Amino acid sequence: MTLTDAWLRYMQVLHQKAPITAGAVRPPRTLSEREDAERVTAPWTAEIREFFSLHDGQKRPTGGEAFVGSMFPGFELLCLDEVVAEHRYSREHLHDTEDLGDEWGSAARGQPAGEVAHMFVAEYIPFAVHGCGDLLCIDTRGGQRQGCVREFGSEGADESDPESASLADYVDSVRISVESGIEYSGLVPTVEGGALVWDVDFSDNPVQGPAPEPKVMIRLPFALTYFQPSQIGPDDDLIDLGAVRQAVLDTARSLHPGAAVEGGESVFRRVPRQQGVGISWLVGIDRAAATFVSVVTGVGNEVIVHEMPEDGSATFVFDE
């Protein structure tokens, strides 16, 4: 089966089951625009060229627009501009591979496709993004597995095995999941208001009783704001996450004097300087994990920092 065959079959299923999601797929850009995107990333495989001749990503709602769902399990399709932006950003913000030696970058690029690079290499071409910043990429390095689909995590890099041997296989396997309703990578496809939604499968979990009422109230001077990392452009005004991390660690040390405070990790790589945006941080306090939340004020790199209760059962109360 060719990629075009797999794509058209999947789109037919989406039009029948999730017309809102199907309708959010943009038409492809011109050949010259696609060639420009290839020129500023890395040489594409024939399958990648075929892939972007079929679409230009999916529209995403802004403001009060309705949710349109996501094409792939937990991932939204990227348009050409986003492919270029994500590729550039990932190349500029590499994972720490210092312990692998000074020559590791060259060695990773010389590996056959499918091997773990522990870093983002130019030969990874992203085509979909998760809300936390993880990417789905095509590995264009040489070898028998050239063109395989793999996930690249903002935290775990490329340590997981490839998802599929090719884009055609990946698209067709997702189509089968949507058509049959069976889970894919632990996520179950459902349709809400014509939009395709991927939910965690809790069917094997024991039935839980009602959640306890939150005992902790966190007061903020303004409401929390939702944002999608995939909507951030290369020219957006971003907050300095290094400065925010330091503020979180300083707060943790003030709340736990004498304790060994370390870590300070967040799943986000880019956060807009937008009032009300919340960022969760994992902090080690005497080797025990604690969660902190920092809320962007919109002024410089200033944030409001609170430690969350162990069970996470806090209620946010807003003055506005």
Domain ranges in the chain are 3-200, 216-318
DSSP bridge pairs for 46: none
Distances (CA, A) of 29 to 37, 51, 80: 11, 11, 8
Query: What phi and psi values does residue 124 have, to the nearest 5 degrees?
Result: -85, 120
Is 55 in contact with 83 (CB distance < 8 Å)? no
pLDDT recorded at residue 160: 77
**CATH number for region 3-200:** 3.40.1580.10
Closest CA to 82 of 47, 50, 32, 37: 37
The pLDDT value recorded for residue 202 is: 59
Backbone angles phi, psi at 81, to 5 degrees: -60, -40
What DSSP string runs through the chain? Answer: --HHHHHHHHHHHHHHH-HHHHHTBPPP--HHHHHHHHHTS-PPPHHHHHHHTT---B----TTPPP-B-SBTTEEEPPHHHHHHHHHHHHHS----GGG-TTHHHHHHHSPTTS--SS--TTEEEEEEETTS-EEEEE-SSSTTTTEEEEEBTTTBT-SPPSBSSHHHHHHHHHHHHHHT--BTTEEEEEETTEEEEEE--TTSPPP-PPPPP-EEEEESS--B---GGG--TTS-B--HHHHHHHHHHHHHHHSTTS-EEEEE-S-S--B--TTBEEEEEEEETTEEEEEEEEE-SSTT-EEEEEPPTT--EEEEE--
Tell me what pLDDT residue 229 has.
58
Q: pLDDT digit of tens for each residue in the chain (320 aa)?
A: 799 999 999 999 999 889 999 999 999 999 999 999 999 999 999 999 999 999 999 987 665 566 788 999 989 999 999 999 999 988 887 655 556 666 666 777 778 888 888 878 889 999 999 877 889 999 998 888 899 999 988 666 777 778 899 999 999 999 999 988 888 888 899 998 889 999 876 565 555 555 555 567 788 888 877 555 555 666 788 999 899 999 999 999 999 999 999 888 776 677 889 898 888 788 889 888 888 889 999 999 999 999 988 755 567 777 75
Structure-derived torsion over alpha carbons of residues 204, 205, 210, 214, reported in degrees to the nearest 10: -140
Nearest alpha carbon to residue 137 among 182, 170, 181, 185: 170
Confidence (pLDDT) at 101: 62
Parallel, antiparallel or unpaired: strands 135-139 and 303-307: unpaired
**Which pLDDT belongs to residue 290?**
83
pLDDT on residue 63: 57
For 199-219, give one letter per residue: b (16+ CB within 10 A) or e: eeeeeeeeeeeeeeeeeeebe
**Of the candidates 134, 136, 159, 150, the residue with the CA atom closest to the CA atom of residue 269:** 134
307/218 Cα distance (integer angstroms)? 9
